[in-house]
Structure 1
Amino acid sequence: MVINMSVRGRILNAKGDLSEAERKVADYILTHQQQVLKMTIKELAKAANSSPASVIRLTKRLDIDSFTTLRILLSSDLTKNRTDPKDHEDIKKNEPLSSIKDKLLSSALQSIRETTDQVNEDEVNHLVDAIIHSQRLFIFGIGASYLAVENISQKWNRIGYPTVADNDLNALLPKIVNAGKKDVLWVISNSGESPEVLLAAQTAKKYHIKVVSLTRFGNNSLAKLSDISVHTSQPMESSNRIAATNSLLAQFMLIDIIFYFFVSKTFDKSAKALDISHAIVQEYKETMLK
């Protein structure tokens, strides 16, 4: 667990592994943060309709050494305005523009901060090395995650690493079964559970193609199938999830981190390719103006 991550982030990342009794405590903390600051273990257990033992177990699962430390961390989060649940409420009918701006800004900053806090340097190093030594980079994602796929493709193409971007298994699968052993498949999925991305990863593994993935933090099927996995924070989207705003922002932030680290490790080659890419685009624009 990452030391700088908020209590909310720790809870969301661990939630899939919690028992029912632990989840009751976790949910209470998420929705009553200010009150929890003044509670004892017994008081929290009673308020959450759980048990003192469950409070202690949850604290340990969050990689926090004591309930006292949990309250200190929670207080720090609130001071930094990192965890107000109201910032993640659904948009209301006829809501003022100022309220919508505040909600989106607070939520976006939290998703980006928690994603950067939990970046695993070893995982990013392995991913970057895999791309450097790859012959071709296939990228796959569906729905909103395809926007992240296009982002990756555009970035790496500009620095001389051609990519193949797909959001359709009918197009991707024939490429995978005919790929070489030095090719890499990078799969993007917030949940890590979409049937399409799992089939893509399973097919790549069957044909001995290295699989790397970008998913939200936590135990998910895609991460388990991957040779290398990197993770964003668990975004607190509203229940209606009108748009996948937070998950996309987190994905884009992590992609930027990986990309700039990649460029720093391949600086001379990437800088030269970037100059060439810029020159040809400028030439095209000047031609169009004539």
Structure 2
Amino acid sequence: MAFLELINQHYQELSPQEKTIIAYLQNPDVVLTKLTSQGLADACFVSRSSVFRLLKKLDLDSFTELRILAQQAQKQAEEVRAKSTFAAVTQAYHTYIDQIFEKLDLGRIVDLLATTDVLYLYGTGNEQKLEVENFRQLFSSVGKRVIVFFDKGEYDYVKEGFGPNDLMILLSYKGEFEEGIAILKDSALRGIQRLVLTQTSRNTMAQLSDYQLYVPTESIQTPTRRTYEVSTTFYFIIDRLFVDYVERGGH
């Protein structure tokens, strides 16, 4: 099982200390080759027993197995960054698609969508707002009530209508958008459930949400030195959630 898949399946069960360990293992600058369980504990300022509790929650037999999975994820990311070509990105997407459509268990999120009265959607950037619109069109087409808000001002208006069975979904690549963080902090007092879709667990918005889905994207360095973010996996995830929702009987 891939490292990303493990995180998505078990992240909700993890303690703050265990989430710190996961974040450390996802750091591309960390040398994992000779990392020991004690070394990991020391680096994360947690006890060694916290490391072994994490292994148990991830259903792993040994620390070595955890380290190998983290190394494989790190190596894959390094290879894509080193090549920085569309062909390399496409190859990486084969792996991501496999995880999303064949291995990733989205049942918990689909159940949440099915029991939700109103979906509130928000994206932190221009591309995320396009993905939010795609999300809205899909779920509105089967009768789900969906409300999109574009900024904090609109959020302040719609939040008065939040109900106990409503769900707010926020899309953000980096998860450090100031306005998104402010919305999550305020909504914590409103009794609405919050789901955040981001690239990685190492971000503030993910930590502030009730539910998280980690959706990898890839970057390409163009000849003009501009970085282009290939975010197709966000659309894959939205499509997968919609299909599973309809198959579950959502309408």
TM-score (norm 1): 0.59
Aligned length: 227
After superposition, the CA RMSD in angstroms is 4.4
**1:128 matched to 2:113:** yes
- Once residues 226 and 21 of structure 1 are traced to their aligned partners in structure 2, the CA distance between those partners, rounded to angstroms, is 20
Which residue is 1:65 aligned to? Answer: 61
Q: Give 5+ residue unaligned stretches, structure 1.
A: 30-43, 92-99, 271-290
Q: 1:111-130 CA deviation, whole Å, 9 max, x = no partner?
A: 33344577344532442233
Structure (1/2) with the larger strand percentage: 2
Which residue is 1:5 aligned to? Answer: 2
- Once residues 103 and 131 of structure 2 are traced to their aligned partners in structure 1, the CA distance between those partners, rounded to angstroms, is 19
Which residue is 1:266 aligned to? Answer: 249
Which residue is 2:81 aligned to? Answer: 88
Question: Residue 144 of structure 2 is aligned with which of 154, 161, 180?
Answer: 161
Question: Residue 190 of structure 2 is aligned with which of 202, 207, 210?
Answer: 207
Question: Residue 240 of structure 2 is aligned with which of 231, 234, 257?
Answer: 257
Q: Contact between 1:15 and 1:23, CA under 8 Å: does it hold in 2? A: no
- Once residues 108 and 209 of structure 1 are traced to their aligned partners in structure 2, the CA distance between those partners, rounded to angstroms, is 33
| Structure 1 position 263, deviation (Å) | 0.5
Look up the equivalent residue of 1:202 and give its one-letter code. K
Which residue is 2:20 aligned to? Answer: 17
Question: Residue 244 of structure 1 is aligned with which of 209, 217, 229?
Answer: 229
Q: Classify the secondary structure of the residue corresponding to 1:250.
A: helix
Q: Contact between 1:140 and 1:186, CA under 8 Å: does it hold in 2? A: yes
* 1:29-48 alignment, distance < 5 Å: 29=32, 44-45=33-34
| Structure 1 position 25, deviation (Å) | 10
**Change beyond 3 A, Cα 1:89–1:147:** farther
Look up the equivalent residue of 1:5 and give its one-letter code. A
**Change beyond 3 A, Cα 1:219–1:118:** farther
Q: Classify the secondary structure of the residue corresponding to 1:160.
A: coil
Q: Give 5+ residue unaligned stretches, structure 2.
A: 12-16, 42-47
| Structure 1 position 149, deviation (Å) | 0.9
- Once residues 185 and 17 of structure 1 are traced to their aligned partners in structure 2, the CA distance between those partners, rounded to angstroms, is 25
Look up the equivalent residue of 2:61 and give its one-letter code. D
Q: 1:162-216 CA deviation, whole Å, 9 max, x = no partner?
A: 3222322222221112444444322222333322112222333323333233234
Look up the equivalent residue of 1:127 and give its one-letter code. L
Which residue is 1:279 aligned to? Answer: none
Q: Contact between 1:141 and 1:187, CA under 8 Å: does it hold in 2? A: yes
**Change beyond 3 A, Cα 1:84–1:195:** closer
Q: Contact between 1:111 and 1:250, CA under 8 Å: does it hold in 2? A: yes
- Once residues 69 and 107 of structure 2 are traced to their aligned partners in structure 1, the CA distance between those partners, rounded to angstroms, is 26
Look up the equivalent residue of 1:129 and give its one-letter code. A
- Once residues 169 and 126 of structure 1 are traced to their aligned partners in structure 2, the CA distance between those partners, rounded to angstroms, is 28
Q: 1:65-124 CA deviation, whole Å, 9 max, x = no partner?
A: 34765698699x69xxx9373322364xxxxxxxx3421211222333344577344532
Structure (1/2) with the larger helix percentage: 1
Percent identity over the alignment is: 18
- Once residues 73 and 20 of structure 1 are traced to their aligned partners in structure 2, the CA distance between those partners, rounded to angstroms, is 14
Q: Contact between 1:7 and 1:73, CA under 8 Å: does it hold in 2? A: no
Q: Contact between 1:155 and 1:259, CA under 8 Å: does it hold in 2? A: yes
Q: 1:126-160 CA deviation, whole Å, 9 max, x = no partner?
A: 422333xx0x3210111132222111111112112
Q: Contact between 2:220 and 2:228, CA under 8 Å: does it hold in 1? A: no
Question: Residue 140 of structure 1 is aligned with which of 113, 116, 122?
Answer: 122
**1:231 matched to 2:216:** no
Look up the equivalent residue of 1:88 and give its one-letter code. R
Q: Classify the secondary structure of the residue corresponding to 1:123.
A: helix
- Once residues 186 and 23 of structure 1 are traced to their aligned partners in structure 2, the CA distance between those partners, rounded to angstroms, is 24
